[in-house]
Amino acid sequence: MPFLDLEMFGAVPGIDPETGFHWDDTKRYVDHVGLADDGKRKVFELNARRVYPRLDSLLTTTTGR
């Protein structure tokens, strides 16, 4: 199978055998940075809303924020 035909979710599939965490589990790194709640919202929610404008529209319509 050619490399370009491969599809996967996340950056790297699989689990690190030394830690037991998924290789692409970047949320745990952000959690350990020590951001305040507003900073976490910017990283997780507002970035997703910027990248997926239809999601932002749907969430704004259903939640009002």
Q: Which of 2, 5, 6, 7 is labelled catalytic?
A: 7
CB 32 within 8 A of CB 21: no
Q: Is 7 a catalytic residue?
A: yes
Active site residues: 7
